[in-house]
Amino acid sequence: MAVKWIGGHSSPILCLNASSEGLVASGAEGGDLMAWGEDGTPLGHTRFEGANDVTCVLFSPSCPTKLYASHGETISILDVRSLKGSLDHFHVNEEEINCLSLNETENLLASADDSGAIKILDLENKKVSRSLRRHSNICSSVAFRPQRPQSLVSCGLDMQVMLWNLQKARPLWITNLQEDETEEMESPQSPGQLLNPALAHSVSVASCGNIFSCGAEDGKIRIFRVMGVKCEQELGFKGHTLGVSQVCFLPESYLLLTGGNDGKVMMWDVSSEVEKKQKSPTKHTHRKSTKRATYTNQGGNTNTSVTHEEQGKILPKLSIEHGEKVNWLLSTKIKGCQSILVADQTSCISVYPLNEFSIQ
């Protein structure tokens, strides 16, 4: 069912991004960077010196030929029309970069790395304006909030999710996913939890800027709402049988794509839950009571516990048996059709046009 884009890479693809004009960029192990036309034709290729893995690629929304790429500890800025030489490059991180994010005004670029640090690069002055250091392990994902160019969220393998405002050097809010989970269950940790700790792999912020999602190693997808200087978890549900490697909100919606180490790609509609809780005046008491009413499957594995409310209502609108561990997910229009692009452990890109699926 998937269309395969082949002929570009010879090693596993780690990251994807699309420009507003329909170009797609992909980064792979060994320093490979490719540009593709929307018909899957390879348009350009470069291999960075040092052959460090290309871990993140990001097009400029306002200048669709400008591409940011992280490889090793370096950020390169390239013109996608001629990938052979970099327009500029920055070496501001001390360890391998995992994720890049541009703010909406495109004057700041955040880069999260293996040391747990997030460097904020002032692109106009070409220097670091902030170093955010609070994660005690690898910072796996960072995302600026739409409509709020000074605010961002991050997550890491320390199982922590953080909300930052760049006017302060310390996070406004922190939560530990594992501790929250233990409190919710009101029982000792199950063996499943110890085997699958809530290492946080990916964050994505919805277009409204106030709702964001986090995917973690315990297979759970969590939805948070930003409320001023703190956040509340609106929803948490088991989405994958193995770790959730990617979460990605579709533009201008509360449709959420998730990809996992179980080889599945799913789409969830969290709009009714988010909007219902926004309107509910008794949100706090309601949430606490439903948290305690956990549902356990017949096998007795409490790692799959979800609330009665969630068990009844949070079902995927779409489930794709992709078959390979998902490295990166991207939703973009290909030839006018909204599509899901998947990078995995192979050297090809899989394209799933959404019009070929009956979405629940």
Sheet of 160-165, strand order: 139-145, 148-156, 160-165, 173-176
The tokens for 43 are 């348009």
| CA nearest to 151, candidates 226, 84, 70, 218 | 226
For the chain, the residue count is 360
What local confidence, expressed as pLDDT, does residue 357 receive?
84
**Cα-Cα-Cα-Cα dihedral sign, residues 21, 22, 28, 34:** negative
CATH homologous superfamily of 3-356: YVTN repeat-like/Quinoprotein amine dehydrogenase (2.130.10.10)
For residues 266 and 258, the answer to whether their CB atoms sit within 8 Å is yes
First to last CA, the chain: 18
Q: How many Å separate Cα 305 from the centre of its chain? A: 24
What are the sequence ranges of the domains in the chain?
3-356
What local confidence, expressed as pLDDT, does residue 278 receive?
67
Could you give the CA distance from residue 218 to residue 234 in angstroms, rounded to a whole number?
18
β-pair type (160-165, 74-79): unpaired
Could you give the CA distance from residue 322 to residue 306 in angstroms, rounded to a whole number?
25
pTM of the model: 0.87
pLDDT tens over the chain, length 360 residues: 799 999 889 999 999 999 999 999 999 999 999 999 999 999 999 999 998 999 999 999 999 999 999 999 999 999 999 998 899 999 999 999 999 999 999 999 999 999 999 999 999 999 999 999 999 999 999 999 999 999 999 999 999 999 999 999 899 999 999 987 665 544 444 445 457 899 999 999 999 999 999 999 999 999 999 999 999 999 999 999 999 999 999 999 999 999 999 999 999 999 988 887 666 544 443 333 333 222 223 332 223 333 334 444 689 999 999 999 999 999 999 989 999 999 999 999 999 999 888 776
What local confidence, expressed as pLDDT, does residue 305 receive?
32
Could you give the CA distance from residue 21 to residue 10 in angstroms, rounded to a whole number?
26
